[in-house]
């Protein structure tokens, strides 16, 4: 789930995993200015209807920490917050890219998602990290919700987000 309110949208994406194959089965983008309480209520309904949600990754950058805590206290199961620092963003979008290259991620054609996948920009910083952005007048909220949902399907162990202490070999 990617959170937004005034400039960015709040978006939830739901994926299923069968073997190594991951498919986008649903996403919802709330209108701008939708109160977080309404978004949380909708998330609760979606998760209850699905019945067996293994993990719900939520962007907790900015106001998201409060939302994650509220979701957890409200009894929404398997909610985990993610601080989207540059290294974490690299890891999450890198995972999505790898699955797409290996043809292990599928999604039904959708103009908004396809547009966001195609307009996302990356820039190599002087520290060697990749910074992501999108052109003015466009959004990347669906992209990040989908990338978080896909990343939630990973099974290899990892330290909690933002607490990585060693370089991956």
CATH of the domain at 111: 3.30.420.240
pLDDT for position 157: 60
pLDDT of the residue at 19: 94
> Which pLDDT score is estimated for 163?
41
140's CB contacts (< 8 A; 6+ apart) are: 116, 119, 120, 132, 134
Question: How far is C-alpha 95 from the chain's CA centre?
Answer: 12
How confident is the model at residue 158, as a pLDDT?
58
Residues of the chain with pLDDT under 70: 156-169
Supply the range of the domain harboring residue 51: 11-151
d(CA 27, CA 89) in angstroms, rounded, equals 20
Q: How much is the pLDDT for 69?
A: 93
The rounded distance, in Å, linking the Cα atoms of 22 and 99 is: 8
According to DSSP, residue 7 is labeled S
pLDDT of residue 49: 92
The pLDDT of residue 127? 86
Longest dimension (CA), the chain: 46
167: in domain: no
Residue 136 lies in a domain: yes
Angle at 146 between CA 1 and CA 73, to 5 degrees: 20
Between CA 128 and CA 24 the distance in angstroms is 31
Number of domains in the chain: 1
pLDDT of residue 51: 85
At residue 167, the pLDDT reads 38
**The pTM is what?**
0.86
d(CA 63, CA 19): 35
156 belongs to a structural domain: no
């Amino acid at each position: 789930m990617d959170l937004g309110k005034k400039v960015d949208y709040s978006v939830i994406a739901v994926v299923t995993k069968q073997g190594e194959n991951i498919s986008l089965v649903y996403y919802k983008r709330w209108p701008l200015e939708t109160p977080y309480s309404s978004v949380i209520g909708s998330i609760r309904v979606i998760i209850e209807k699905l019945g067996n949600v293994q993990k719900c990754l939520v962007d907790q950058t900015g106001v998201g920490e409060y939302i994650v805590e509220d979701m957890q206290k409200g009894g929404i199961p398997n909610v985990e917050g993610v601080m989207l620092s540059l290294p974490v963003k690299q890891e999450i979008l890198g995972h999505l890219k790898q699955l797409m290259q290996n043809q292990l991620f599928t999604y039904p054609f959708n103009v908004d998602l396809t547009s966001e996948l195609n307009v996302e920009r990356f820039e190599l910083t002087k520290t060697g990290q990749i910074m992501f952005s999108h052109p003015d007048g466009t959004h990347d909220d669906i992209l990040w919700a989908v990338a978080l949902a896909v990343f939630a399907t990973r099974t290899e162990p990892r330290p909690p987000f933002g607490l990585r202490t060693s370089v991956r070999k």
